[in-house]
Amino acid sequence: MGGVDFSRLPLRVGLFGGEPCGERMRAEIERRLHIVATDNYGLTEIIGPGVSGGVRVPLRTPHQRGPFSGRSRRPGDGRDARGRGGGREGELVLTSLTKEAFPVLRYHTHDLTALDRRPCECMRTSVRMRKVRHRTDDMLIVRGVNVYPSQVEDVLLKIEGIAPHYQIVVDREHRMDRMEVRVEVAEEIFSDVMADMVAFTGNVSDRLNGVLGLSVKVTLVEPGTVERTAGKARHVIDNRSTE
C-alpha cells in the first residue's frame, strides 16, 4: 500500500470479523491504519460478524448486540447452565427472535464462551461475551475458512498410496494463518525421480485446495514419524496463539 498516508485518511473505526483476530493483530491494524479496530464475533447462519463486538473501553470486552437471545450451555449437558450464562464456560446457543427469512431456534454454535450480564465500564448494559478460544468440536478456522479434519482425511483416503497417518499443522506466518498437511510416504508413492514426487505433492495440494477452498502446503514425511498417542495419530497441531 505504498504512497498512502493512513494518518491522513478520514478512517476512524474498523469493525473486523470473519475470522478470530488475536490482540496483537488487532493492535497492529490500529497502529498501521490509524484507526480504532474492534474484533467482532458472528456466524454466517445468524448475521455474519455482528453477534457481538468489541467496544472502545475496554476494547477486549465484546458486547452482544442485536435481537438475539444468547445462552451458554455446558457442552454435553442437556440443560441450560444455571443462571443462563452466569459467567461459567459453556457452548454458545443462539435464538434469533425477530429474524424472518432465516430464523434459528437454539442454534448450537459449538463455540465455547462465557456470558456476563453485569454492566460494562463503557456504560452499556447488554450481555457481554468472552472471546471464543475453543470449540466443542474439532473444527479449525484457517484464514476465515472453516476446516474439519475429516474433510482432509476424506481427500487423503481417496489418494492411492497415502498411509492413514497424516497430520494437520496450523501456525501463523507474518500474522497470516498457514496450514500444512504432513503425509507419510508409503512405498507406493515413493519415486526415485524428484519430479514425480513434486508432482505428487502438487496433486494432493490441489485436491485439498479444491475441497477446502484454502491453499495447503503438503509435506512428505517418513513413515512412523507422525506423532502417535496410544497408537492413534494426533491429527491436528494448532500452534497459533490467540493473543
Which residues make up the interface to other proteins (CB under 8 A)?
A: 185-187, 190-195, 197-198, 219-225
Residues 6+ apart with CB under 8 A from 227: 167, 233, 234, 237
Is 57 in contact with 78 (CB distance < 8 Å)?
no
> Least distance in Å: CB of 84 to other proteins?
51
Consecutive H or E run containing 96? strand 90-96
- Parallel, antiparallel or unpaired: strands 128-129 and 134-135: unpaired
Closer residue to other proteins, CB minimum distance, 141 or 197: 197
Closer residue to other proteins, CB minimum distance, 191 or 241: 191
> Least distance in Å: CB of 228 to other proteins?
14
Closer residue to other proteins, CB minimum distance, 1 or 194: 194
> Least distance in Å: CB of 184 to other proteins?
9
Closer residue to other proteins, CB minimum distance, 120 or 220: 220
- Parallel, antiparallel or unpaired: strands 115-116 and 48-53: unpaired
**Hey, which residues does 171 pair with through a beta bridge?**
178
Closer residue to other proteins, CB minimum distance, 15 or 237: 237
Closer residue to other proteins, CB minimum distance, 60 or 234: 234
> Least distance in Å: CB of 173 to other proteins?
14
What angle is formed at CA 237 by the lines to CA 232 and CA 240, rounded to 5 degrees? Answer: 165
CA distances from 188 to 139, 157, 191, 192, 200 (A): 31, 14, 8, 12, 11
> Least distance in Å: CB of 88 to other proteins?
45
Residues 6+ apart with CB under 8 A from 92: 70, 71, 72, 73, 109, 111, 112, 113, 115, 129, 132
> Least distance in Å: CB of 147 to other proteins?
22
Which of 88, 68, 176 has its CA nearest to residue 130?
Answer: 88
